[in-house]
Amino acid sequence: MSIMQSTEPVEIPVNDLVGTNPVVVLAPHPDDETLGCGGLLASAFTDRGAHVICMTDGSASHPGSTLWPPDRLARQRHRELVDALTCLGGGEDDLTWLGFPDGALGDCEPGQIAGRIAAICERVGASHLFAPSPLDHHADHKATAAIALHVVALLPRLRLFYYPVWSRWDDPDFKESHSGWPLWRLSTATHRTEKSNALRAHRSQLGLVVTDVAGFCLEPEMARCFCQEDEYYCEVTPCP
């Protein structure tokens, strides 16, 4: 599809965005899949199938907790992610948990990780790959975006799309910042209930689980923004 970009992203029909095959979504942490792609996933699970690959174990969201040390918190976040996918129409079989250390994905070998992801894309028959925007202000998001480029180098038939999470939230000019790629808006109106329920499944990130230390807590306004507004995707043309 070739449409002249304007300041306001053009709405794209979901079928044009995801194609007819299962989609693969790379989530740097448990909850990114819902925040950035919950509407897309709900639609894909209904019509063509989807697979989520969670890159890290999410264990660094509440450092210093004695009640929830990293290994216990990682198990909790894994359960929350399965519950979230169930809310979106999927389940545990639709998840690959890579479990790399939260906050240190950039220290891992990207080529080896890309090979594992490429094998999953081949297994599920994916033609579209979704990864967080490299403009997101989190090292694990940037590392995941870089790994996605390695994946499409291995599988050039894949179409790659970036989805903004942190860059959408903390950059008031995120549409202009992402204007170097075709930027599309996906209406989530028919899936906002599922998306809201999925985000509520990530209880540890809503301040409902870890109580002995202060840690990450998703701001209510951020939750509202991502659950009640449309999603945005950039199509990436990798350099040859």
| pLDDT value at residue 1 | 38
Render 108-175 in DSSP notation, one character per residue: S-HHHHHHHHHHHHHHHT--EEEEE-TTSSSHHHHHHHHHHHHHHHH-TT-EEEEE-SHHHHH-TTHH
Distance in angstroms (rounded) separating the CA atoms of residues 43 and 25: 13
Q: Which residues contact 58 (CB under 8 A, 6 or more apart)?
A: 29, 30, 31, 73, 74, 77, 78, 102
> Residue 127: is its pLDDT beyond 50?
yes
- DSSP secondary-structure letter at 105? G
> Residue 240: is its pLDDT beyond 60?
no
Share of the chain above pLDDT 90, in %: 92
Residue 25 pLDDT class (50, 70, 90 cuts): very high
Q: What is the mean pLDDT of the chain?
A: 94
The predicted model scores a pTM of 0.95
Contact 233, 161 (CB under 8 A): yes
